[in-house]
Amino acid sequence: MIRRPTRAANVATRFPGTAWTAGAALLAALLLAVAPVQAQRADLEKVIRRQVLPNGLEVVVAENHGVPLATVEVVVRNGAFTQTPEYAGLAHLYEHMFFKANDRYPEPEQTIERASQLGAVFNASTREELVNYYLTIPSDSLVGGMDFLAAALLSPRFLPEELAREREVVIGEYDQNESSPYFRFDQEMGQRLWTTQFSRKNTIGDRDVIRATTPAKMRAIKDLYYLPNNSLLIVAGDVDPDSVFARAARVFGGWKRGPDPFVAAPVPPIPPLTRNEGYIREEDVNLVSVQIQWHGPSVRKDEQATFAADVFSDLLNAPASRFQKKLVDSGLWEGVVVNYYTLNNVGPITISGQTSPDKLRAALKALDAEVREVVKPGYFNLAELEAAKAERAVSSAFGRERSSEFAQTIGFWWSVSGLDYYMKYVDEMARQSPAQLAAYARKYIIDKPHVTGVLLSHDAHAQLGLTEDELARWGAPAPLSPRSAAPAASRRPAAGAKAGAKAGAKAGAKAGAKPGVKP
């Protein structure tokens, strides 16, 4: 079974954005008590070995002899981000065609039979900025496993009958997604957030495009992206690195390098949002779901902000944080989660939460007020910061325990940010200061254009008289104080003040005028 991209996958929390758990928090506290946080890079360099084959294929070996298993994974820099509208959903359909007929196993089902002979558990996934394929096998089947993966990767046949079947499987996944009340909401939010480049974020894609796919389109994807110089091979687990490198050179060495796909088909920049937008969707739900999204940093353009973003999210999500106390413990929200999803081509920042219809306006107002507080000195205290850093170090170490998980983590970061980013991740996190967190919030969140979406029942919508215009005013710039409106730049502050005053009058949610709460 091929895993489908899910709602959860779009708000990836299993990579460094791991959510807080009681166990991990406790361990973090213990770790803090007994030992300083180890430098992650030094730890990783002990377990990770890397080589690049002459054809450009990177090979990473992560040794772990805990259990007699090995995971072999291939990551290709493909995914939604390469999709023009005519290809929306085809990175994922290609993924479905991977464990199918190829030159070595030319008959339908032969590939699957070979996998079961090897005792392999295999899967694949498609995300915004990577596609990966992996199998876990008994470590004494490693050679067979590498050969198996190479055959699928290098010589797919895209048999028309298999493509016809997988098209239906993917349409089935599409239908299943659609049966969730959140799917259409997420799609509509995505369209507002990414506008003309939505296909570059839309992993599940477009139903009509999927239906009309031909083997020729599959081959076009292969020729452009499935190149050794655009891929990574990871072997993790109970293996000997030197034998893996030798075998990799034999099995993948003949794979022909090609032109850099991102020179041949450059990924256009995401157009910046120019204004706030509101979106309302009615579904048969009891609670009200709120989702507010901004354009966050691009990892290869503003790397430091991505570290700040993750610490920032961790601190606000910590159950004992002021943010959670004000918003959730107060009863206004059932829950509120802050997330930054690290991507190379603009990662989204999302604040999502649930509340009841009668509390919605008060909850939104309190959220706006609290978001504006985070840039004030003293908002984050150092003890919280230390705990979050320790928790990241622990969850990162936990994630390395299982080789299959570790391989996926390595693959994600290799494709999105480059592996060096991952190697230094915990160390960079540990360097973040309250001032850097505030700078991140100022640069990407406070008074920045965003989309505010609300999902609620028809009745709640009618009772509240909520409009998209009202939602578009959430988080609008605060009215300027007389002092800051004073000198030189007369035109723009005046316009801002007018917009702010209007928003204040209608929504009555002007947080900027409130006195800050001192810690």
Binding stretches for Zn ion (CB under 5 A): 2, 4
User: 16 or 411: whose CB is closer to Zn ion?
Assistant: 411
Residues whose CB falls within 8 Å of the CB of residue 228, separated by 6 or more in sequence, listed in order: 53, 55, 56, 57, 252, 255, 256, 257
Q: In what order do the strands lie in the sheet with 348-355?
A: 277-282, 450-456, 288-295, 348-355, 335-340
User: 14 or 41: whose CB is closer to Zn ion?
Assistant: 14
337 closest CA partner among 8, 4, 5: 8
398 closest CA partner among 43, 109, 90, 76: 43
CA 406 to chain centre: 17
Closest approach of Cβ 224 to Zn ion, in Å? 21
User: 2 or 385: whose CB is closer to Zn ion?
Assistant: 2
Closest approach of Cβ 92 to Zn ion, in Å? 6
Plot region of 158 (φ>0 → left; ψ -120 to 50 → alpha; else → beta)? left
User: 2 or 244: whose CB is closer to Zn ion?
Assistant: 2
What is the C-alpha to C-alpha distance for residues 14 and 514, in angstroms, rounded to an integer? 37
User: 218 or 456: whose CB is closer to Zn ion?
Assistant: 218
What angle, rounded to 10 degrees, do the helices at 110-117 and 142-154 form?
160
Q: Judging by beta carbons within 10 Å of its beta carbon (0-12, 13-18, 19+), is residue 246 exposed, middle or buried?
A: exposed
Give the CB-nearest residue to Zn ion.
4
Closest approach of Cβ 80 to Zn ion, in Å? 13
Maximum CA extent, the chain = 77
Closest approach of Cβ 210 to Zn ion, in Å? 11
Closest approach of Cβ 3 to Zn ion, in Å? 6
User: 126 or 432: whose CB is closer to Zn ion?
Assistant: 126
What is the C-alpha to C-alpha distance for residues 335 and 325, in angstroms, rounded to an integer? 10
What is the distance in angstroms between the CA of the first residue and the CA of the last residue of the chain?
Answer: 52
User: 167 or 443: whose CB is closer to Zn ion?
Assistant: 167
What is the C-alpha to C-alpha distance for residues 480 and 465, in angstroms, rounded to an integer? 29
Closest approach of Cβ 123 to Zn ion, in Å? 10
Closest approach of Cβ 149 to Zn ion, in Å? 18
User: 178 or 358: whose CB is closer to Zn ion?
Assistant: 178
Strand 131-138 versus strand 48-52 pairing type: unpaired
What is the C-alpha to C-alpha distance for residues 407 and 75, in angstroms, rounded to an integer? 10
What is the C-alpha to C-alpha distance for residues 263 and 146, in angstroms, rounded to an integer? 30
What is the C-alpha to C-alpha distance for residues 354 and 334, in angstroms, rounded to an integer? 5
Closest approach of Cβ 5 to Zn ion, in Å? 7
Closest approach of Cβ 2 to Zn ion, in Å? 5
For 469-506, give one letter per residue: b (16+ CB within 10 A) or e: ebbbbbbbbbbbeeeeeeeeeeeebeebbebbeebbee
User: 218 or 270: whose CB is closer to Zn ion?
Assistant: 218
What is the C-alpha to C-alpha distance for residues 50 and 245, in angstroms, rounded to an integer? 9
Closest approach of Cβ 193 to Zn ion, in Å? 23
User: 111 or 229: whose CB is closer to Zn ion?
Assistant: 111
